[in-house]
Amino acid sequence: MTYLRLFYEFFKAGLFSIGGGLATLPFLYNISDTTGWFTHGQLADMVAISESTPGPIGVNMATYVGFTTGGIPGAVIATIGLITPSIIVILVIAGFLKAFRDNKYVKGAFYGLRPASTGLITAAGFSVVMISLVQLDAFRASGSILDLFNWRGLLLAAVIFLLTRVFKKLHPAVFIGASAVAGILFGFAGVSI
Amino acid sequence: MRELLDLFWTFARIGGLTFGGGYAMLPILQREVVEKRQWVSDEELMDYYAIGQCTPGIIAVNTATFVGQKTRGIIGGIMATLGVVFPSLVIITVIAAFIQNFADLEIVKNAFAGIRICVCVLILNAVIKLLKSSVVDKATLVIYAAVAVGSILTSVSPIIFVLLAGIAGVLLQNWKGGATK
């Protein structure tokens, strides 16, 4: 039954996510919220691994979530669920390619869909910020505004942001690797060294 | 049959050589599919790629289906698509199994705590890039802000936002088109 649900959830993600890269991320957060198969924290780890391994990010994420939920069959079923709508839609429109692209209603729809997709990815990014940079529990416990943010984390984020702006050509895996090293050196998980 | 296997393996190689998918894939596609195999022309590939970006699903998968369909019909489309996802299935399954076994180690926990901060920055950079191409006027800015805020504050499914934004886009564009005539 979980397999059927996996297929259905990823079919929806494949059908309604527009554009490449992180476009499926909002759907994965939604799956996490509605099924409880994995946590937001696990999802952030999956993003990092999917960005630093070969293959399209969306496919990698589907495989990863599927594996976490249902082992190897889960990985296969989630991935097939994700690509099924693409195969159907593309095979249907392959016959009238130019007419599709020049259609005024199609153009209009995408005029609205692109900013919406960006908005959804922004919201997904916000939830990663909430789990990695904001410490609501510590803030509630102490009431001190100083405890609200993970200051070391913010500093690391600022440094990485500047580096990604300066070294635009470097692959994301480089920054992910550097952050892993920083996390280990400075005990970012809150485990004392 | 040989041609179908050829499609599968060519796209498996493309999938395995692409880091990040989508935009990173184009140069490798051009080399393998246009120059080496001559399955499609450069113009056709650019068309597929442009349409792949604005149809549902992953760009890399959409482009693979297009090229496969052009070469060997429906079965070709399916084989090329299965090929492009094959390396991901193998590599991610191995890594995921590995990480599952070591997730409780302190060093792994600390590494991922650092990595999550990097993920914030990577998503921020993706958003900055997407904002430039998707938010082009006041109306798109309103759609962007409404979806971002709505999605943060409520647990409404992304599907609802996508459908509403698509309808809003059709109405806005065609109303604007009518007004200028």
Pair (A50, A101) in one structural domain: yes
**Final residue belonging to a domain, choices A132, A154, A176:** A132
| Sequence-ordered alpha helix ranges (H) in chain B | 2-17, 26-29, 42-53, 59-102, 106-134, 138-153, 158-180
Co-location of A124 and A142 in the same domain:
no
Domain boundaries, chain B: 2-101, 104-134, 135-181
Same domain, A39 and A94: yes
> Is A94 in the same domain as A152?
no
Any chain B CB within 8 A of the CB of A135? no
On whether both A61 and A11 belong to a single domain, the answer is: yes
Residues in B closer than 8 angstroms to A119, CB to CB, are 143-148, 150-151, 161
- pLDDT-derived band of residue B23, with 50, 70 and 90 as boundaries? low
- By C-alpha distance, which of A171, A29, A41 is closest to B109? A41
pTM assigned to the model:
0.84
For an interface test with B, the pick among A27, A45, A165, A168 (most B C-beta atoms closer than 10 Å) comes out as A45
The per-residue pLDDT for range A94-107, each reduced to its tens digit, is 878 778 878 888 88
How many domains does the structure of chain A reveal? 2
| Last residue in a domain, options A113, A132, A151 | A132
> Do A29 and A97 share a domain, yes or no?
yes
Q: Which of A112, A132, A152 is the last residue of a domain?
A: A132
Three-class SS of residue B31? helix
Query: How far is residue B78's CA from residue B177's CA, in Å, rounded to a whole number?
Result: 39
The residue range of the domain holding A103 is 2-132
Verify that A103 and A170 share a domain, yes or no: no
User: Is A124 in the same domain as A31?
Assistant: yes
Using alpha carbons only, give the angle B155, B21, B113 rounded to the nearest 5 degrees.
55
Residue A119 and residue A40 share a domain: yes
Same domain, A24 and A37: yes
The answer to whether the CB atoms of A87 and B65 lie below 8 A apart is yes
pLDDT band per the 50, 70, 90 thresholds, residue A191 = very low
> How far is residue B59's CA from residue B39's CA, in Å, rounded to a whole number?
19
Chain length of chain A: 193
Give residues 73 to 92 of A whose Cβ lies within 8 Å of B. Answer: 75-76, 79, 82-83, 85-87, 89-91
Is there a single domain that holds both residue A157 and residue A184? yes
Give start and end residues of each alpha helix (H) in A36-135. 40-51, 57-93, 97-102, 104-132
ipTM value of the model?
A: 0.84
- The CA distance from A64 to A131, in Å, is 20
A40 touches chain B (CB under 8 A): no
Half-sphere exposure of A164 (CA within 13 A, CB side): 25
Q: Tell if the CB–CB gap between B81 and A17 is shorter than 8 Å.
A: no
- A170 in the same domain as A118: no
Average pLDDT over residues A36-57: 90
